[in-house]
A and B are shown apart, each in its own frame.
Chain A
């Protein structure tokens, strides 16, 4: 009997979207439970969760927390983690490296002072981002895959992260042809394409 999956998070893409993309790519059924931020439901649930945080993935009532762990679990379950231990390590490396970019993006989003925010944005666009993308361009193949010549969660994770950059910087992948191909491969994958059309449109 296939287990029952229930993903619990806020009504945003945030730290759950990679997992949602994985379920979609694998065409694997799950319940996509979403709370509003200050809901009573979350207040009630919080003390009963492993670490007081969301997202959570219930696998037949057994809760898992930590967003990357959840995504990796679904990736492994659906054959999207990599075909060999070394491929899995490469995928892990790509996903972990994206965290560095995520930190910089969060610093920009969280900055309340408009002037400082513009400064951080400029630094990101002019300094960190080109360097980061330069490294990632070398890690992606000309066919548009980070690992093993076929779709893995590393490609989905990259696609998901760039989704937070393009509103600020639409031409961000100009000149990075391997990375642009990764985006194409992910967007055109059947399950992902359907999810992108159907998913709730949220700001974050």
Chain B
């Protein structure tokens, strides 16, 4: 049995997709959350000076999407064919383009700049993204093929962050709401959503 140890801060952030995938796959792992003040001494011992990292039987990998893809593979959630897997990758990449703009807005320290960015994101970037992804989703509430893949879970995770700032964002998007429902009703995910530490971000 391989041993998995995930290390990150005590936030959802860049580790939450990984945690959701472990949960969906019902794969046991150690969910290490470090305090901010422990980071400086840990940093030089990581491959690229960043977390999350995943230790797998003593080998360490970094980069959150690389880790997530690895765990998705272990959970059988990558997609059935090479093309399916590429479609999942592509939709996740597209999601991250928008996710970056969202994060940039959330992390803005200047209050008036943040309000401006929040308006811009909500009016200029989010609606076209959701309209586009409504088109990508199947009537069955899956982005790839006819079953759950990590691209559904990635979308759910991102919207979890986004709807905290834009509560009605998904109103009217039938297929996207079906994707969200499918993810939430996965038994492992349901359990994790109930049990996970509640953090600001």
Interchain CB contact under 8 A, A72 and B89: yes
Q: Within the assembled complex, what's the spacing in Å between the Cα atoms of A133 and B56?
A: 24
Q: Mark B60-87, 1 if CB is under 8 A from A, else 0.
A: 0111011101100110000000110111
The contact of B69 among A64, A66, A92, A100, by CB within 8 Å, is A92
CB distance from B66 to the nearest CB of A (A): 4
Interchain CB contact under 8 A, B70 and A76: no
Interchain CB contact under 8 A, B86 and A93: no
**B94, CB-defined interface residue at 8 Å:** yes
Interchain CB contact under 8 A, A88 and B90: no
**A180, CB-defined interface residue at 8 Å:** no
Chain A residues positioned under 8 Å from B47 (CB to CB)? 93, 135, 138-139
Interchain CB contact under 8 A, A64 and B86: yes
Q: Mark B111-134, 1 if CB is under 8 A from A, else 0.
A: 000000000000000000000100
Chain A residues positioned under 8 Å from B132 (CB to CB)? 51
Interchain CB contact under 8 A, A93 and B66: yes
CB distance from A169 to the nearest CB of B (A): 20
Chain A residues positioned under 8 Å from B93 (CB to CB)? 66, 68-69
Interchain CB contact under 8 A, B89 and A97: no
Contacts A92-B66, A93-B66, A97-B62; is A85 near B73 (CB within 8 Å)? yes
Interchain CB contact under 8 A, B63 and A92: yes
Q: How large is the interface on A (under 10, 10 to 19, 20 to 34, 35 or more residues)?
A: 20 to 34
Contacts A92-B65, A93-B62, A135-B47; is A85 near B89 (CB within 8 Å)? no
**A77, CB-defined interface residue at 8 Å:** yes
Q: Within the assembled complex, what's the spacing in Å between the Cα atoms of A100 and B93?
A: 15
Q: How many residues of B contact A (CB 8 A)?
A: 26
Interface secondary structure of A, over-half rule = helix
Chain A residues positioned under 8 Å from B65 (CB to CB)? 92, 96
Closest to B65 in A: A96
Interchain CB contact under 8 A, A69 and B82: no
Contacts A66-B89, A66-B94; is A89 near B66 (CB within 8 Å)? yes
Interchain CB contact under 8 A, B90 and A64: yes
Q: Within the assembled complex, what's the spacing in Å between the Cα atoms of A57 and B82?
A: 14
CB distance from A87 to the nearest CB of B (A): 10
CB distance from B137 to the nearest CB of A (A): 13
Interchain CB contact under 8 A, A96 and B66: yes
**B48, CB-defined interface residue at 8 Å:** yes
**A175, CB-defined interface residue at 8 Å:** no
Q: Mark B24-64, 1 if CB is under 8 A from A, else 0.
A: 00000000000000000000000111000000100101110
Interchain CB contact under 8 A, A86 and B56: yes
Chain A residues positioned under 8 Å from B49 (CB to CB)? 131, 135
Interchain CB contact under 8 A, A72 and B86: yes
Closest to A97 in B: B48
Top-10 shortest CB links A-B: A92-B66, A66-B93, A89-B70, A96-B63, A69-B89, A73-B86, A93-B66, A93-B63, A69-B90, A66-B90
16 CB-based A-B contacts, threshold 8 Å: A50-B94, A66-B89, A66-B93, A69-B89, A69-B93, A72-B89, A85-B73, A86-B59, A86-B61, A86-B70, A89-B67, A92-B70, A93-B47, A93-B66, A96-B63, A135-B49
